[in-house]
């Protein structure tokens, strides 16, 4: 006799698909300013509600409200606004040159600029960041030269990475920016190890790492939380929940059952969930986590709730898997517009200044691109010397690699 119901396999599905109108009314978005700000020495369990809340500073009118207001001065905010606008202009230009065939591939961070730029605002310049490919804004916020980034995108003769990495997989030791990995998640436990080493050496620097919500399913995310928790590593672990991992909505990574921030609680890692499109909020939560790390109180997990406004990459077409109007209906808006409105509301900025700044950063990007293209593009060269492909496999080139290099050069 059958007493139990027939078992059914559950396959998560997003609310809406192409051809349907986007609707985010199911999202629980607490009022700006309504979430408490606990002391930095709070335990993960005591502050568990924050993993299910959403820290917001800017309200719908663009006013900064509540205990998380980082009280940033207007100059800092204008610098942040400019870095976000520059990141967007840079992305647009590089996207266009890829479409022109001058390089193979590109990935934009459009709509997510307040993640990298807002968080950079809360870190010291010598803290080391272990990002993903969608935090180019960290380099821009750290005033890294655009030309150098572009040369990497073009794999040209001035590419410091010698044409080895796909576009956007930057590395800059001088900027404290760890070499980007195409294998997702690996940087998380590495950042923990780096932070453990910093603590072991009695250093003052901390580490911060990022992952998309999709790659939280990778073991490295769980390794990072476990090891960071066990050894109280001075590290900030960030999950950028931009709703989409290529074509898979965040439910495929487990986001329908719980928040990504809530993953931290089980590991005893304090967790914050923040409006990722609110520059003031991303800066404020990162400051909180950084203070914690610098005070030997250990790691923090931050979920940055945002939206991937453009395609995953130039090799992707989101119209095939998500409604076309999601970005315009995203209830947390555009991070650049929101910070602009805030500054205008404070009397520290104007529409005219904003328009002038937008043109300025576009011109800055155009000029940098002219300079970078003069050093070569992937389609036309000049590229790095081909024999350089045999360098840096090991510190010293082994005999067998020297032989292979000579074979290539000798045309055998």
Partner 1 sequence: MPAMNMVQALNSAMDVMLGRDPDVVVFGEDVGYFGGVFRVTDGLQRKYGAQRVFDAPIAEGGILGIAVGMGAYGLRPVAEVQFADYIYPAMDQLVSAAARLRYRSAGEWWAPVTVRAPCGGGIFGGQTHSQSPEALFTHVCGLKTVIPSNPYDAKGLLISAIEDDDPVVFFEPKRLYQGPFDGHPERPAVSWAKHPLGAVPGEHYRVPIGAARVARAGADVTVLAYGTMVHVALAAAQETGVDAEVIDLRTLRPLDADAIAASVEKTGRCVIVHEATRTGGFGAELAAVVQERCFYSLEAPIERVTGWDTPYPHAFEWQYFPGPARVGRALRRATEG
Pick left, alpha or beta for residue 154 (phi over 0 → left; psi -120 to 50 → alpha; otherwise beta): alpha
The residues with which 341 forms a beta bridge, in sequence order, are none
CB of 39 or CB of 398, closer to partner 1: 398
Q: If binding is defined by CB under 8 A, does position 207 make contact with partner 1?
A: yes
Query: Which one of residues 191, 237, 271, 289 is an interface residue with partner 1 (CB under 8 A)?
Result: 191
Work out the angle between the directed axes of helices 74-99 and 279-294 (0-180°, nearest 10). 110
The DSSP H or E segment spanning 360 is: helix 351-374
Which of positions 209-248 make contact with partner 1 (CB under 8 A)?
A: 219-220, 222-224, 226-227, 230
Which of positions 372-401 make contact with partner 1 (CB under 8 A)?
A: 391-395, 398-400
Which of positions 39-98 make contact with partner 1 (CB under 8 A)?
A: none
CB of 190 or CB of 259, closer to partner 1: 190
- When computed from its CA atoms, the radius of gyration of the chain, rounded to whole angstroms, is 22
* Contacts of residue 284, Cβ cutoff 8 Å, sequence gap at least 6: 55, 57, 68, 69, 70, 122
Map residue 217 onto helix, strand or coil.
helix
- DSSP 8-state symbol, 162: T
Work out how close the CB of 390 gets to partner 1 at its nearest, in angstroms, rounded to a whole number.
Answer: 10
Which of positions 88-147 make contact with partner 1 (CB under 8 A)?
A: 130
Q: Residue 139, class by beta-carbon neighbours within 10 Å (0-12 exposed, 13-18 middle, 19+ buried)?
A: buried
CB of 20 or CB of 392, closer to partner 1: 392
Q: How far apart are the first and last CA of the chain?
A: 76
Q: If binding is defined by CB under 8 A, does position 194 make contact with partner 1?
A: yes
Q: If binding is defined by CB under 8 A, does position 201 make contact with partner 1?
A: yes
- Cα 213 to chain centroid distance, Å, stands at 11
Query: Which one of residues 51, 97, 169, 339 is an interface residue with partner 1 (CB under 8 A)?
Result: 169
Q: If binding is defined by CB under 8 A, does position 208 make contact with partner 1?
A: no
CB of 156 or CB of 198, closer to partner 1: 198
**Phi, psi (rounded to 5 degrees) for 96:** -65, -45
Work out how close the CB of 236 gets to partner 1 at its nearest, in angstroms, rounded to a whole number.
Answer: 14
Query: Which one of residues 42, 179, 353, 364 is an interface residue with partner 1 (CB under 8 A)?
Result: 179
Closest CA to 319 of 13, 22, 1, 29: 22
In angstroms, the CA 24 to CA 36 distance is 25
Query: Which one of residues 136, 186, 314, 369 is an interface residue with partner 1 (CB under 8 A)?
Result: 186
Query: Which one of residues 15, 48, 79, 162 is an interface residue with partner 1 (CB under 8 A)?
Result: 162
CB 267 within 8 A of CB 235: no
Using the contact rule CB under 8 A, the part of the chain among 141-149, 196-204, 274-282, 299-307 near partner 1 is 196-204
Q: By CB under 8 A, name the binding residues for partner 1.
A: 130, 160-162, 164-165, 169, 171-173, 178-179, 181-183, 186, 188-198, 200-201, 207, 219-220, 222-224, 226-227, 230, 391-395, 398-400
């Amino acid at each position: 006799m059958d007493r139990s119901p027939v078992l059914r396999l559950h396959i998560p599905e997003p609310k809406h698909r192409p051809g349907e109108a986007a609707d985010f009314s199911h999202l629980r978005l607490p009022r700006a300013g309504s979430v408490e700000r606990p002391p930095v020495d709070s335990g993960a369990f005591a502050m568990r509600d924050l993993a299910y809340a959403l820290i917001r500073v800017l309200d719908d009118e663009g006013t900064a409200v509540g205990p998380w207001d980082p009280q940033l001065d207007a100059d800092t905010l204008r610098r942040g606004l400019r870095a976000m606008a520059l990141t967007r202009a840079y992305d647009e230009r590089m996207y266009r040159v890829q479409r022109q065939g001058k390089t193979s591939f590109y990935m934009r961070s459009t709509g997510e600029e307040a993640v990298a730029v807002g968080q950079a605002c809360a870190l010291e310049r010598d803290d080391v960041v272990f990002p993903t490919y969608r935090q180019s804004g960290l380099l821009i916020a750290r005033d890294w030269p655009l030309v150098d980034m572009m040369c990497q995108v073009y794999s040209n003769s001035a590419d410091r990475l010698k044409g080895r990495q796909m576009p956007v997989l930057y590395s800059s030791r001088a900027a404290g920016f760890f070499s980007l990995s195409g294998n997702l998640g690996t940087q998380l436990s590495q950042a923990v190890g780096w932070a453990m080493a910093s603590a072991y050496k009695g250093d003052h620097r901390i580490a911060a790492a990022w992952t998309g919500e999709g790659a939280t399913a990778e073991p490295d995310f769980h390794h990072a939380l476990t090891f960071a928790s066990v050894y109280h590593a001075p590290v900030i672990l960030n999950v950028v929940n931009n709703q989409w991992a290529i074509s898979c909505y965040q439910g495929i990574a487990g986001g329908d059952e719980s928040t990504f921030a809530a993953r931290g609680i089980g590991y005893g890692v304090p967790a914050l969930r923040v409006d990722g499109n609110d520059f003031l909020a991303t800066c404020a939560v990162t400051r909180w986590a950084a203070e914690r790390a610098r005070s030997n109180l250990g790691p923090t997990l931050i979920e940055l709730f945002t939206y991937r406004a453009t395609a995953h990459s130039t090799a992707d077409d989101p119209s095939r898997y998500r409604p076309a109007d999601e970005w315009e209906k995203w209830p947390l808006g555009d991070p650049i517009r929101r910070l602009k409105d805030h500054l205008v509301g404070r009397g520290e900025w104007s529409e005219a200044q904003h328009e002038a700044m937008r043109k300025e950063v576009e011109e800055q990007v155009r000029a940098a691109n002219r300079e970078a293209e003069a050093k070569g593009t992937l389609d036309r060269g000049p590229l790095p010397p081909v024999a350089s492909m045999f360098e840096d496999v090991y510190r010293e080139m082994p005999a067998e690699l020297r032989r292979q290099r000579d074979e290539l050069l000798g045309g055998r």
